[in-house]
Each structure stands twice: as structure tokens, then as C-alpha cells.
Amino acid sequence: MHSFHYNNGSLHCENVPVSEIVSQNGTPLFVYSAQTFRERFKALDSALADLNHEVAYAVKANSNQSILKLLIELGSGFDVVSGGELYRVIKAGGDPSKCTFAGVGKTKEEITFALENGIYSINAESEEEAVFINQIASELNLKAPIAFRVNPNVDAKTHKYISTGKSENKFGIDFDRIDEVYQKASQLENLELRGLQMHIGSQLTSVTPFIEAVEKVAPLAARLKEQYGIEFFSIGGGIGIEYQDALASGSESWWTDSEKTNLPLTPERYAESLIPLLKDLDLKILIEPGRFIAGNAGILLTKCLYEKRGTSKIFKIVDSGMHQLIRPALYEGYHQIVPVTESSHETEVVDVVGPICESGDFFCQNREIPVFSSGDIVALMSAGAYGMTMASTYNTHPLPAEVLVDDTNFKIIRKRQSYDDLISHEDL
């Protein structure tokens, strides 16, 4: 059964009524399905079974320690983009030797922390960064394992804010310069050239850009293996998820049947296209999914506070907003909105807006959605990725709580922030 579904008119997460979770924990509230995290990880891991591979979960998608621990138990590696994310993985019981450290702006403190803890690879995004890593490694009397991120200049055909593989993006080294960069880095005494990395963007709904990028970069990976003995090739993440119709009807599961799936790109379709291009490289293949594993595994629950009917619009004002799920405001991200208690099949065209003092504080605009009224609880689907990790306390709103459901059980995995918590680090 789909992890989020209606049962007798009541929205459930696995086998727990969402209304029961809300009654104990209030709103706004993130609720996650452990089953979905497991199913998504296993589906991708199994699809790539014919390759020497590792699924390295992108911590930035959802970094709660309980989620990380769940994935550690499944054998996941991790893609981190800060010292803080690496620290989270370690505190959750993860092994730094199964972590890669990406990102364009790593500090000396972060690089030192990663090297001292035995990071598998630091993915350098510029020549100057590689020189800096070499200097730090020399001071520590260590050899720093690195990979360079190559920019293949492939159009991922996704939103411009989450496209990362074109020459005008800030990420990676231009494809036509990468051989020169590896040659120079090979002369630096405290670097070990361990791999090659790329990532072309997020929320890709077609396998075509992946094929184009791998076809372009795989020969480079083979050449670097021969010249410098690299051992891995990371092809990044980016597999898209279902946002438009995330709440399944009936009991069909969208992750186990590729014929019926609502997913825009299944693990099976992804693997069958890419394995033939990668299997003869004799390199460990890393894949860095975040949204694919976490996105459909979570919902954001919010309460309708007021309804305002103007001359041109109906506004549903809720107690969550852009400060807790910024995707709609940031890049017009879509989230299906459904009531926790299924009512009639009536719909109306409304704006769902939050309490933040910004005109961009909306979850949808001019959208036809099921009717709900003041006091009703609604769920924003597919909110498991880039919700809480991008949340802020703007307008001094406390951060929401997080709950993890596992079959018939649920527990708080992050307490709701209090007013005292909000000011606890300030000194008057």
C-alpha cells in the first residue's frame, strides 16, 4: 500500500492516521514515512546491482539524524556539502570513509575536519581549491583523497535554479580544461587523485540528459583511470519525483511496479539506460540521490487559520509558509495540497498563503484544490526533501517539529522549537 493514503476518509501515513499525529504534536508539522525511505533506497540499489556501485544519499535533501541512521542501516553512503552535514552523519553512526564532500565554498576548518575524520573523497570544484586542499593536507601531514567535479555542459532541462551542469553555472571545471587540471594536480605531493565527479541538475524527469552526460564523460573517466589510477566515477544525482499527483488513489504502489508507476523516471528505466555505458569502465560508480529518496517520503501538515474572500481571489491563510517550505516561492515548486479529512469532491480556485510578511509567501496561486475551511488541517505532499533543511525562523517563527512513522508506530525526531530556543544563542 502507498505510504500516504486515505483510509475511511482519513489521511494515513503508513498505518497511522495523520489526525492522530497532529492531535499530539500540533501544526506546522513534518511527517515522514520510514517505509518510503527504505523502499526508494532499495529500489535504486537493486536496479544498479549489475554495477560495482554505491548509493550515496545527498544529506542536503533531509538531514535529520534519525533519517540518516535509517539509511546507514541500509548500507548507504553519503554525499555531504558542509562540515556540518559530515558531523551529522558521524553523530548518526555513519562512516566518513563512505562519504564524499562536495560544494564550491569549503573552508579550512571544514576541509581539516573531513581529512582528520578519514573522508573518502573531497570533490574539488576549482584548481585553486585543489591547491588549498593540498596545503592543508601538508600541514596535517596527510594525503588528501580528491576528485574534481567536471562540468559537462549538458542542459538538464530543469529549472534554472537547480541546473548545475552547464558552463554558465558556478559548479565544476569546464570539460575542455579537465585533463589539464588533473595533470597539474598530479604534481601536488599531498593529493591523491581518487575519482571523478559530475552532477548536471535536480528533478530530471527524462533519462536523456543523464545519457548525454555519461556518454560524454565516461571516456574521460576511463582515461583518468589509465593515467592516474582513479577508482571511482560519481555520476551525481538528480532523478525526479512525482509532485503533481503524489497522493495515490486506491492501494496501488508507485515504487514497485514500473508499468503503473506515477514516477517520471523509475530506477529501472534509469539503470537500463546507464548500466551499458558504465559497466566496462571497471570503476566504482557512485550515485548521489537526495530528493528521489526523501521527497515523496514526507508531508508538511498545516492548519487553515482564516479564509479571506476578496473581489478577485479567495485566500486560504495557513499557519505554515515559505519559511518552512520555500520551494513554491523560490522556484515555483509544485506541491499537491489535500485535506487530512476527506470531505466532498467539491473544489475551488484559491491561493494558499502563509503568515510571512512577503508577497511571495504562498504554497499555490489560482489553483483548483479540494474545499477546506478555517480549522481544517491540510497536507502538502512530497515535502520530505528540501523542506526542513531549507527552513528558517524568518519573522521569528519557531521551527516545526518532525515525526517519523514506521508501520503503526511514530515518534518525534525533532522537537518543536520554543520561543526560548529562538533567542538562546543571543546575548543581550
Catalytic residues: 357
Residue type, 222: A
The CA-based dihedral angle spanning residues 243, 247, 251, 256, taken in that order and rounded to the nearest 10 degrees: 20
Write out the H or E segment, with its range, that includes residue 234: strand 232-234
**Torsion from C-alpha of 86, 92, 95, 99, nearest 10 degrees:** -30
Taking the CB of residue 213, how many other CB atoms lie within 10 A of it? Answer: 26
Other C-beta atoms closer than 10 Å to the C-beta of 337 total 22
Residue 369, C-alpha cell as written in the block = 484544490
- Are β-strands 232-234 and 191-197 bridged in parallel, bridged antiparallel, or unpaired? parallel
Q: H or E stretch including 228?
A: helix 208-228
- CA distance linking residue 103 with residue 98, whole number of Å: 17
> Is residue 313 helix, strand or coil?
coil
**Residue partners of 311: CB distance under 8 A and separation at least 6:** none
CB 151 within 8 A of CB 174: yes
C-alpha count within 13 angstroms, C-beta hemisphere, residue 397:
19
Residue matched to cell numbers 518552512: 324
CB 407 within 8 A of CB 37: no
Q: Are 373 and 304 in contact (CB under 8 A)?
A: yes
Radius of gyration of the chain (CA): 22
Cell numbers describing residue 280: 566496462
Instruction: List the one residue out of 132, 133, 168, 165 whose CA is nearest residue 149.
Output: 165
Full 3-state SS string of 10-62: EEEECCEEHHHHHHHHCCCEEEEEHHHHHHHHHHHHHHCCCCCEEEEEEHHHC
Phi/psi of residue 400, nearest 5 degrees: -75, 170
